[in-house]
Structure 1
């Protein structure tokens, strides 16, 4: 075993992660974890950690808004996938927990924030499989059948969840997962006839071999987006043109199969992923998908601004998501993707 003083770096993606020749993984952004708690003093939201599948260790942090004892209303269910370039962050991180608590409080929803496996210990498609399994587990809670082996039903979902209003959402790489899970939901059934109502993608992580918009025209393989994808999915067929990262790649299915009825795509005006988000939004609109899509751009803001600084005025634009969780469309004056 190499000592800490003579280990050799075999790969790194700055400022996120470094891997050494002895297999040690060093995550360079030190985002502390925080415990769940009942009745958060700032938001009133309660949270708890659960194990979804003991055999695999798949887990999640659940959030429930403040309810009165006699409140028996059924609430929308959000299955959330955190960002972090597939290699960092957690459902229990202080950043993710704070954002979820605010969103759950404002939107009055139940949220299942999935603790999916990270790379490089678990290269893609592990995260995609985990998030699909978590969504299927959520849908299984709609059934009264408690006999399924290995399935642990969750009282918060059973008592307060509205399975007619199931959503998925995520930020950055989490939004990439949202796309891939929504595509799968259009091809494979969930449990007990549950269907996705909507999906939101905040600053989605997509790329491809051909530049679009203001992306650099040369040496794209050196871009952070390309290097992250190679790191996250080293065995990936077709590289950055794989449909998982390039929804319009040569082998990609038609976006018309997206398995939800509503979609919301948002970008930051100063984010390097901005043009890809607009490109994706336009592609969904043009593909024959029969759902309703909305778009929102926050001028002048960079990547994940609302996660890092939720108290700022622009970060309050997360309120644009609130009408999205209603059964109908939002009442926002949203922009065209073009």
Structure 2
């Protein structure tokens, strides 16, 4: 009798299996939750919209309770290593409700395609599509039936921000670089970028990163090989290692303000601090800030269900940036 065991193409133990027949099993993730009007904890409202049909790119939009004036816009990219989680998952819904309420911003949380079904650079393409779609709402035209009313009515396009956590921080960096090289619809400029606990890596360890062969066996290396198996240079591709020799100059960041957030107990900390230092040394004309919460680990402010003192401190710092 023929074996029914499927051959595995690639996997990350306890997280995901990608089979040679193209099917994927995920063993970790938070449940999807629907959008809501007047969230009971924060008063924020949310709704889901479609940005593009081919490929399918969607988003969850958030508005704070107080909408008496034009609001800064945050285009947000969720965490999950490029292969897990969603703009619609419970942790991101809770987090965006908190952040939108505290910062008084309009947020667009992008549902980009995930690897390995859609390997990179698909996520980068989707996030750029979403940012261009947001920027298109700055263009005033007769007949705006195709426009999203929350953006038209409440968005301040002079205060457009991008940001994300972990893989989302990586996305924010790469989208900021693209915004420095290409124009956005309506001539809109990205005012600021938030790179939080960003997923950057490379073959040459720095600080406390694994040494020797251990770096090739690190979760960060294995994850990159899963989500972008065809990347030129592998783990030293500039998309994951923007500090590698030959990468585009960080002076090309297409924003005028930058906030780099790190956590003291996060394996990704040292590389983000190095990134911050190199941005400052690059000749980039903007204003860079570094914020660290020493006692915490990776993406603690999203994963913690209850608002601890450090979560409140983190969200307060993000809100102070989003002005």
TM-score normalised to the size of structure 2? Answer: 0.95
The residue number in structure 2 matching 1:90 is 86
Once the two structures are overlaid, the 10-residue window that deviates more, 164-173 or 317-326, is 317-326
Tell me by how many angstroms 1:146 deviates.
5.9
The 3-state SS of whatever aligns with 1:186 is helix
Shift of residue 41 of structure 1? 1.3
> What residue in structure 2 maps to residue 16 of structure 1?
15
Residue matched to 1:204 = 198
CA offset digits 1:116-151 (Å, max 9, x no partner): 000000000000000011001100000113679xx9
Give secondary structure in 2 for the equivalent of 1:51.
strand
In 2, are the aligned partners of 1:268 and 1:300 still within 8 Å (CA)?
Answer: yes
If asked which structure has higher relative contact order (CA below 8 Å, sep 6+), I would say 2
- Of 101, 115, 122, the residue aligned with 2:111 is 115
- The 2-side partners of 1:323 and 1:195 are apart by 20
Identify the match of residue 131 of structure 2 among 128, 135, 160: 135
Cα distance in structure 2, aligned partners of 1:173 and 1:211: 19
State whether residues 241 and 250 of structure 1, in contact with CA within 8 Å, keep that contact through their aligned partners in structure 2. Answer: no
User: Are positions 1:302 and 2:313 aligned together?
Assistant: no
Contact 2:30 2:90 in 1 (8 A): yes
Do residues 264 (structure 1) and 263 (structure 2) align?
no
Identify the residue that residue 59 of structure 2 maps to in structure 1: 60
Task: Work out whether residues 52 and 152 of structure 1, in 8 Å CA contact, stay in contact via their aligned partners in 2.
Answer: no
- Please state how far the C-alpha of 1:168 moved relative to its aligned partner: 0.2
Q: Does structure 1 conserve the Cα–Cα contact (< 8 Å) formed by 2:22 and 2:117?
A: no
Post-superposition CA distance 1:158-211 (Å, at most 9, x none): 000000000000000000000000000000000111000000011001011111
Alignment of 1:217-256 (within 5 A): 217-219=211-213, 220-256=215-251
2:188 to 166, 190, 194: 194
CA distance in 1, matches of 2:220, 2:29: 21
- 1:221-278 CA-partner distances (Å, limit 9, x unpaired): 1111111111111110011111101111122111001000000001110000010110
Q: 1:215 aligns with which of 183, 206, 209?
A: 209
2:286 aligned residue:
291
Q: Give me the whole-angstrom Cα distance separating, in 1, the residues matched to 2:74 and 2:291.
A: 20
Task: Give the counterpart of 2:170 among 162, 171, 176.
Answer: 176
- Pair 1:33-2:32 in alignment: yes
Shift of 1:282: 0.4
Superposition pairs for residues 318-329 of structure 1, below 5 Å?
Answer: 318-326=315-323
Q: Per-residue displacement from partner, 1:35-82 (whole Å, max 9, x unpaired)? A: 0011111111110000012332211000011136xx2x1000000000
Any unmatched runs of 5+ in structure 1?
Answer: 327-338
Q: Which runs of 5+ in 2 are unaligned?
A: none
